[in-house]
Structure formats: structure tokens, C-alpha cells
């Protein structure tokens, strides 16, 4: 289950006016005070001449910031001459793109049929109880998040899990514990 | 004397400790003063033996596996570097029956060469197909592919030559080659392995396709779950450009062709060719209606060849060895070989390349050795999450497109997922609907909404809530999804659901009579 969180901010009339004015001005005044927006613009402009570059730009922005900062939609829309709705539509379509910072350690469990055939569902249940979070959610302190993936292409050596970006095969509950402990201790798991 | 040791850098091998083995071996050999050269090769495909370490002794490669980092010291003590006996030794790799019984065309170099060493690639037959293609006219290349009988390996089995002919004949200066490397089906990993273990073969196939249809640019659309494959492809593309293969003058032919890798972003539907094209264009991966065919109006509205990794990866062999060499393998109208992938609850999981027509039993029992759990097989899903579930009494079906279709199943991409007798088929049927609701692009209502309703209806059946009424509803829903969806996502999701229902009604709390009446 994907969970998308959107920050709905209540703006005062003054803020709204200020914001619309800055947008009318091409976002330049906003960026003067906001290095993130300026950086997003630079990343977007670096690829804007490529054909159909939106996904590539979003990947680049996310690689740099760990997530897509709030200014991504308006700034990228402007650079590519797209509507914000189009950019938002793309961001919300793909499960890789996150509008909020990721957890420090992300645990992703494969739920593909091949991994299910060797106990992936039990492993996912174990991960939920061990981490105290649901699939698609983060721990309140942001230390760890749990995700489901449909296939890492490791179908002969399941169950498969990725912990802090590293892929592991034949994962048991005990092994998952060790991998999570190791990742949270900041080590490189082996 | 320096001894060459091969340790796969395939991501499945890495997932079970290959990197740690390489680190341990480097350190331990240095400590002992042994001179070794480690090559990070692709996997041989005997995945249950990974990490599978090979040592070259007098020109013969001797295999050991599965090796863990903790085994390294004992292996060296026993004489690993001279190919000495040890509990993990399997002997000369080329003589291992599991490999020797295969007919590897597309996977000829898999695990044999250093994936990024172009000289090694050429020594093992690489670039021969492209060099031949350079000397031929575009029409001759397309004719060779047509005569080879090569069909799309991604699942649909469409004749590759016919697709190429359409693109070649289409008017226009700008055409594209798009490689579909969005291998999202559970139980399939042969695309990934080829990209990681022998990336030049894919690049060669794409270049041949470019020369054949008059395209100067190719894209590889790779799923984001395959970061290793992406990195290796990018490195291979860089090497091919330096070599004078990719770029403005392909091997001195005066013709241009270049390739870029583009990464998906976690959407299964982008493995559907028209969704993939939208995604490549930087849009939501929404399925397009056909016509227009992508061959006529594909990427950015231009004529486009969209082929799967293994389809393009099969092309160099066709051009190097001739169409007949390819067409002489296989069965009926399914010519050539398929790279079958054994997955799930299987004792000896891995990759088996053989001509079409091999039976499911030979693959699952002879090569696979039955279930990993040692329990009886109960269900086998062939062709990915949208494929039917087969029962053990169907094990003698030959793996061939038309026979499978006649049996209400599909060969698809050649992925075979085995489940033992502890499997709950109602749960898997529910999962098929859940997966569809999760991954539907949302364009067609039967797929977008029907899949969610499907989960609910299956839940009501398994809970015993008006079983007869809800069964009628489920069958009706499956009809609507099959007939009312543009692509295979909604259109084929009923296949696993209905096959589970009709073959394993007891898992749903139903009798066979209730299901068939």
C-alpha cells in the first residue's frame, strides 16, 4: 500500500498574495531566499534540453535531497513549461517518488509470488511487528520505514529484502533482525 | 603465478554474500602471499550455488559453491587455487550436467566473460553479428531476423521480424529502438542477469536493430529495482562509445547509433510497451490505445521498435550464426531458445536456456530438483503474475506458446514459480487482484476499480458470505476485466484468479461442482 502524504498548509491572505506574486515573477524572488528552490532549478535546467526529461529530473532531485522538496512541482513545471498538475500527476503516479524525507533506514520486503512461495508474507508480518510500523509507513521518530516491493529479480533466492539500499536473499526473521540492527548501528551489513 | 578467480557480481549472488567472499579472498590471499586476480563475472545461472566461485586451473574452470566469506580460509587451506578437493567443490564447470545439458545461445557468454571487458566479449564471439549486419542492407538484416523465427521474448511472442519490417517500411527520418528492461514480473530475472552479466550482447542487439530499421537512437528503459544493471549498462555504453561502436560512426560504417539508459520509478505497468513509451517521454505511465501501433507512432510519435531485453539479446546470434541456426531449434512456431527461469519454492533455482518444447517437468524436476521445502508441488505459475496456475498433472506440457495458450496458460517471459502443498491458492488469487489494484495505471475502469472489487468479492467468498452469489459476481467481474481492459494488466489478471478458482476450489471453501456449474 502506498501512502502519500501531502502538506496542506493554511496560508494567510498576505502569504498567499506574496506567494502568487513571487510565482508571477517566475519564482525568482522565492529562490533568492530559498537555496533549495534555486538548486532544484539548476538540476532541472541541466536536463531541460533532453527529450522528455521529467522523470530523469525528478530522479536527480530526489537523489540530491533524499526526497522531492516542496518547490519541486512549481520550479520543475516552470523550467519544462508544463502545468503544475502535470508534474504533480507524474510525482504521484510513481511509487519511487517521495514528497517527504525518507526514514533513516528503509526496509523493503519483496511480496512477489516467487518470494511468497518461500515465506515472504510471514517475513513481512514479522517486519511489521518488529518495527512497529505498517507497510508504507515510518516509525514516528523517522528512524525506520517499511515498504513493500513487487520483485527485485532475486526470485530463485527468496525471501528477498532490501535494508538501507542493500539487497539480501534467503532472508529469515533472525537475519532480518541482524541486518536492521546493523543498519541502525550505521554499519555496513554483511 | 597469478591465479584467476571468478566471483559473480550478479545482484542475486551479491544478495547472498558474493561481495563479502571477494573481500575475504582478497585479504586472505594477500596475507598468504598468494597472487590472485579476481574477475567479477556474471552468474552462470546456477543460483542455488551462489556465491559460485570459479578458479582457473590449467585453462579449466573449477567451481565451488555456495561459498560464504567464512569458508574462504578453509578453502585456501584445502588448495582452492589449485582446484583441490573440498566439500564445496563441484568440478569442471563446463562439464556440470546442469550447464552441459543446456543450449545457450543468448546466454552463451553468461558467467564466462568479464561483463565489461570488450576484448573478452569479442574473443567469445561478440560483435560478429554486428559486423555482419554492417555489411548487409537494412532489408537483409530484417529478412534474417524474420527468417530466424524470433518472437518477442517479453511474453507476447510477437514475431520480431514483422515488427522490424513495419518500422523499416514506415516513413520518417527519426526512428527509435526502445528496449523494455522493465522486468517486473515476479519469477523472471533473465533480463537482469543478461544486463549484469553480458551487457554488450544487449547493446549489440540494439545496434543491429538500429541499423536494420534506420534508427539512430536507442533507449533502454530499466526498472529502478535494478540499480546494479543500470550501472553496468552505463559503463558498457561508455566502453562501446570509446571503442567506436556506439556514436556517429558505428564500427566505421558511417552510420550513427547511440544508446541511453532511462530509469523507471517503481511502476509495474511501465513494462507494458505503450505505458513504457509514455514513461520514457517523462509522463505518467498510462497505457495507450492501439492502433496506432508503436511501430508507426511510438516514442515521441515516431516509428519505434519496442523489444524486450532477451529478444534484442537473441539478435546477435541470429546475425552471427545465421537465421537457420536459430530456426532449427524450438518446436512448431516457437523457434529458437527461451531462457527459462526457475523460481519460488525450488531446490535448484536458476536459469535454463533450451529450445522451446522442453517440458515443464524437465525444467521443474530434472533441472529444478523439485521444491526447496522437499514437499510435493501443488501449483506452478508460468509466465509471471498474470499467468495461469498449473497443477502437477500438467507438468508434461511442452513449453511452447501455442500449446500453453491452448491449455489456458501462457509461456510468457519463461518465468516458472513453484509453490508447494502449503500454499493457500485463495490467498494468491486475492493477491493477484490486490496487485492489479496496486499497479493499474487507472485508465480502464474494469482494471482500476474491478481489481479492488475483486479483492472484496474473494474476501467474501473465503469468509463464507453468500458463496454462490459472490462466485457468480466474481466470474462476471473477471469477464468484464478480460474484455474491457486495454492491456494485459486488467485483461489477464483473471487468469491466475480463475485458474486458482477452478483448480483449487477447496481453498475458497467451494466444491468443484459449484465452480464449474
Same domain, B397 and B445: no
Q: What is the pLDDT of residue B126?
A: 98
Q: What is the pLDDT of residue B153?
A: 94
Q: Cell digits for B462?
A: 473465503
Q: Provide the strand spans (E) within B394-504.
A: 415-420
Contact call for residues B481 and B451 (beta carbons, < 8 A): yes
Residue B298 has pLDDT above 70, yes or no: yes
Mutate to test the interface with B, among A114, A154, A162 (most CBs of B within 10 A): A114
Q: What is the pLDDT of residue A29?
A: 52
Q: Cell digits for B153?
A: 521474448
The DSSP element (H or E) to which A144 belongs, if any, is strand A144-149
Residue B42 has pLDDT above 60, yes or no: yes
Same domain, B219 and B367: no
ipTM of the complex: 0.95
Instruction: Tell me how close the Cα of B353 comes to any Cα of chain A, in angstroms.
Output: 16
Q: How far apart are CA A23 and CA B104, in angstroms?
A: 59
Sheet holding A166-168, edge to edge: A144-149, A105-110, A161-163, A166-168
Same domain, A129 and A80: no
Q: Determine, yes or no, domain membership for A84.
A: yes
Tell me, yes or no, if B307 comes closer than 8 A to chain A by beta carbon: no
Same domain, A84 and A132: no
| Final residue before a domain boundary, out of B401, B420, B439 | B420
Same domain, B373 and B508: no
Q: Determine, yes or no, domain membership for A190.
A: no
Residue with grid cell 549498462, as numbered in its chain: B233
Note down the domain range covering A156.
105-184
DSSP state, residue A12: -
| Final residue before a domain boundary, out of A93, A123, A144 | A93
Task: Please give the average per-residue pLDDT across B277-297, as a whole number.
Answer: 97
Q: Convert the pLDDT of each residue in A56-93 to its tens digit.
A: 999 999 999 999 999 999 999 999 999 999 999 999 99
Same domain, A133 and A175: yes
Contact call for residues B486 and B289 (beta carbons, < 8 A): yes
Same domain, B172 and B73: no
Bridge partners (DSSP) listed for residue B222: B181, B263
Confidence of residue B354 (pLDDT cuts 50, 70, 90): very high
Same domain, A114 and A176: yes
Kindly determine whether residue A153 and residue B264, on different chains, have CB atoms separated by under 8 Å.
no
Q: Convert the pLDDT of each residue in B208-236 to its tens digit.
A: 999 999 999 999 999 999 999 999 999 99
Interface of B with A in 276-305 (CB under 8 A): 279-285, 300
Tell me, yes or no, if B414 comes closer than 8 A to chain A by beta carbon: no
Note down the domain range covering B396.
330-420
Q: Convert the pLDDT of each residue in B233-282 to its tens digit.
A: 999 999 999 999 999 999 999 999 999 999 999 999 999 999 999 999 99
Secondary structure class of B224 (helix, strand, coil): coil
Q: What is the pLDDT of residue A28?
A: 53
Q: How far apart are CA B114 and CA B222, in angstroms?
A: 22
Task: Please give the average per-residue pLDDT across B486-501, as a whole number.
Answer: 96
Contact call for residues A87 and A94 (beta carbons, < 8 A): no
| Nearest alpha carbon to residue B420 among A33, A116, A41 | A116
Residue B139 has pLDDT above 90, yes or no: yes
Kindly determine whether residue B266 and residue A95, on different chains, have CB atoms separated by under 8 Å.
yes
Q: Determine, yes or no, domain membership for A153.
A: yes
Instruction: Tell me how close the Cα of A62 comes to any Cα of chain B, in angstroms.
Output: 11
Of A55, A111, A156, the CB nearest to B350: A156
Task: Please give the average per-residue pLDDT across B154-172, as a whole number.
Answer: 96
Residue A2 has pLDDT above 80, yes or no: no
Same domain, A78 and A110: no
Q: Convert the pLDDT of each residue in A95-153 to its tens digit.
A: 999 999 999 999 999 999 999 999 999 999 999 999 999 999 999 999 999 999 999 99
Confidence of residue A27 (pLDDT cuts 50, 70, 90): low
Within 8 A of A86 by CB-CB distance, chain B residues are: 283
Q: Which residue has the higher pLDDT, A106 or A27?
A: A106
Same domain, B373 and B244: no
Q: Determine, yes or no, domain membership for A2.
A: no
Q: Determine, yes or no, domain membership for A57.
A: yes
Burial of residue A139 (CB within 10 Å: 0-12, 13-18, 19+) is middle
| Final residue before a domain boundary, out of B384, B401, B420 | B420
Domain count within chain B: 4
CB pairs under 8 A between A and B: 153
Q: What is the pLDDT of residue A52?
A: 96
* Dihedral of the alpha carbons of B229, B232, B237, B239, in degrees to the nearest 10: -160
Task: Please give the average per-residue pLDDT across B56-64, as a whole number.
Answer: 97
Domain count within chain A: 2
| Final residue before a domain boundary, out of A93, A127, A153 | A93
Contact call for residues B46 and B59 (beta carbons, < 8 A): no
Task: Please give the average per-residue pLDDT across B73-101, as a whole number.
Answer: 97
Q: What is the pLDDT of residue B1?
A: 84
Kindly determine whether residue A58 and residue B265, on different chains, have CB atoms separated by under 8 Å.
yes
Q: Which chain B residue is nearest to residue A52, measuring alpha carbons? A: B281
Same domain, A74 and A53: yes
Mutate to test the interface with B, among A4, A81, A117 (most CBs of B within 10 A): A117
Q: Convert the pLDDT of each residue in B362-415 to its tens digit.
A: 999 999 999 999 999 999 999 999 999 999 999 999 999 999 999 999 999 999
Distance of CA B421 to the CA centre of its chain: 27
Average model confidence (pLDDT) for chain B?
Answer: 97
Same domain, A111 and A178: yes
Same domain, B484 and B401: no
DSSP state, residue B290: S
Residue A37 has pLDDT above 80, yes or no: yes
Task: Please give the average per-residue pLDDT across B136-144, as a whole number.
Answer: 98
Same domain, B407 and B321: no
3-state helix, strand, coil in chain B (%, to 5): 45, 15, 35
Same domain, A111 and A78: no
Interface of B with A in 155-184 (CB under 8 A): 183-184
Kindly determine whether residue B192 and residue A153, on different chains, have CB atoms separated by under 8 Å.
yes
Q: Which of B122-126, B130-134, B365-369, B408-412 has the lowest mean pLDDT?
A: B408-412
- CATH code for the domain of A121: 3.40.30.10
Confidence of residue A34 (pLDDT cuts 50, 70, 90): confident
Residue with grid cell 538500429, as numbered in its chain: B210
Amino acid at each position: 500500500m502506498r501512502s502519500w502524504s501531502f502538506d496542506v498548509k493554511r496560508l494567510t491572505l498576505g502569504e498567499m498574495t506574496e506567494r502568487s506574486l513571487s510565482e508571477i515573477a517566475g519564482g525568482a524572488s522565492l529562490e533568492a531566499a530559498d537555496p533549495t528552490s534555486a538548486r532544484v532549478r539548476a538540476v532541472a535546467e541541466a536536463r531541460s534540453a533532453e527529450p522528455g526529461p521529467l522523470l530523469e529530473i525528478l530522479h536527480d532531485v530526489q537523489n540530491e535531497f533524499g526526497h522531492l522538496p516542496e518547490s519541486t512541482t512549481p520550479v520543475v513545471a516552470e523550467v519544462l513549461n508544463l502545468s503544475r498538475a502535470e508534474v504533480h500527476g507524474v510525482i504521484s503516479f510513481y511509487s519511487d517518488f517521495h514528497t517527504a524525507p525518507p526514514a533513516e533506514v528503509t526496509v523493503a520486503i519483496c511480496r512477489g509470488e516467487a518470494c511468497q512461495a518461500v515465506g515472504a508474507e510471514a517475513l513481512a508480518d514479522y517486519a511489521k511487528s518488529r518495527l512497529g510500523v505498517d507497510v508504507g509507513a515510518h516509525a514516528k521518530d523517522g528512524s525506520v520505514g517499511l515498504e513493500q516491493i513487487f520483485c527485485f529479480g532475486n526470485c530463485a533466492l527468496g525471501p528477498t529484502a532490501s535494508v538501507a539500499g542493500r539487497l539480501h536473499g534467503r532472508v529469515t526473521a533472525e537475519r532480518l533482525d541482524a541486518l536492521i540492527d546493523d543498519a541502525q548501528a550505521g554499519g555496513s551489513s554483511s | 603465478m597469478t591465479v584467476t578467480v571468478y566471483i559473480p557480481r550478479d545482484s542475486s549472488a551479491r544478495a547472498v554474500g558474493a561481495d563479502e567472499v571477494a573481500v575475504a579472498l582478497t585479504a586472505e590471499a594477500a596475507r598468504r602471499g598468494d597472487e590472485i586476480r579476481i574477475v567479477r563475472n556474471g552468474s552462470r545461472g546456477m543460483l542455488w550455488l551462489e556465491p559460485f566461485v570459479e578458479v582457473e586451473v590449467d585453462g579449466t574452470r573449477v567451481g565451488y559453491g555456495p561459498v560464504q566469506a567464512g569458508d574462504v580460509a578453509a578453502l585456501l587451506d584445502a588448495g582452492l587455487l589449485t582446484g583441490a578437493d573440498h566439500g564445496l567443490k563441484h568440478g569442471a564447470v563446463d562439464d556440470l550436467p546442469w550447464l552441459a545439458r543446456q543450449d545457450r545461445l543468448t546466454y552463451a557468454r553468461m558467467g564466462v566473460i568479464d561483463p565489461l571487458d570488450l576484448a573478452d566479449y569479442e574473443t567469445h564471439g561478440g560483435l560478429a553479428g554486428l559486423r555482419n549486419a554492417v555489411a548487409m542492407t537494412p532489408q537483409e538484416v530484417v529478412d534474417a531476423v524474420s527468417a530466424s523465427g524470433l518472437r518477442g521474448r517479453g511474453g507476447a511472442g510477437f514475431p520480431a521480424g514483422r515488427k522490424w519490417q513495419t518500422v523499416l517500411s514506415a516513413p520518417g527520418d527519426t526512428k527509435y529502438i526502445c528496449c523494455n528492461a522493465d522486468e517486473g514480473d515476479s519469477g523472471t530475472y533473465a533480463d537482469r542477469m543478461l544486463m549484469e552479466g553480458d551487457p554488450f550482447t544487449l547493446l549489440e542487439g540494439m545496434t543491429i536493430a538500429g541499423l536494420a530499421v534506420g534508427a539512430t537512437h536507442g533507449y533502454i528503459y530499466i526498472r529502478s529495482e535494478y540499480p546494479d544493471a543500470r550501472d553496468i549498462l552505463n559503463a558498457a555504453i561508455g566502453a562501446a562509445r570509446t571503442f567506436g561502436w556506439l556514436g556517429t560512426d558505428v564500427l566505421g560504417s558511417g552510420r550513427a547509433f547511440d544508446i541511453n539508459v532511462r530509469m523507471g520509478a517503481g511502476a509495474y505497468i511501465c513494462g507494458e510497451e505503450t505505458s513504457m513509451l509514455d514513461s520514457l517521454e517523462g509522463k505518467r505511465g498510462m497505457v495507450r490505445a492501439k492502433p496506432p501501433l508503436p511501430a508507426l507512432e511510438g516514442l515521441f510519435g515516431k516509428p519505434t521498435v519496442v523489444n524486450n531485453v532477451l529478444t534484442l539479446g537473441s539478435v546477435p546470434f541470429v546475425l552471427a550464426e545465421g537465421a537457420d541456426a536459430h530456426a532449427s531449434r524450438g518446436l512448431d512456431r516457437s523457434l529458437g531458445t527461451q531462457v527459462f527461469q526457475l523460481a519460488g519454492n525450488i531446490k535448484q533455482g536458476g536459469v535454463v536456456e533450451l529450445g522451446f518444447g522442453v517440458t515443464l517437468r524437465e525444467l521443474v524436476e530434472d533441472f529444478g530438483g523439485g521444491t526447496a521445502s522437499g514437499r510435493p508441488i501443488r501449483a506452478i505459475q508460468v509466465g509471471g503474475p498474470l499467468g495461469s496456475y498449473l497443477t502437477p498433472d500438467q507438468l508434461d506440457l511442452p513449453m511452447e506458446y501455442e500449446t500453453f495458450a491452448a491449455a489456458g496458460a501462457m509461456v510468457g517471459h519463461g518465468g516458472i514459480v513453484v509453490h508447494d502443498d502449503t500454499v493457500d491458492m485463495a490467498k494468491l488469487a486475492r493477491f493477484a487482484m490486490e496487485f492489479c489494484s496496486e499497479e493499474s495505471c487507472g485508465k480502464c475502469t474494469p482494471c482500476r476499480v474491478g481489481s479492488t472489487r475483486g479483492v472484496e468479492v474473494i474476501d467474501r467468498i473465503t469468509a463464507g458470505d453468500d458463496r454462490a452469489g459472490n462466485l457468480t459476481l466474481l466470474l462476471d467481474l473477471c469477464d468484464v476485466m478480460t474484455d474491457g481492459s486495454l492491456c494485459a494488466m486488467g485483461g489477464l489478471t483473471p487468469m491466475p484468479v480463475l485458474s486458482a478458482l477452478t483448480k483449487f476450489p477447496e481453498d475458497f471453501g467451494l466444491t468443484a461442482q459449484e465452480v464449474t456449474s
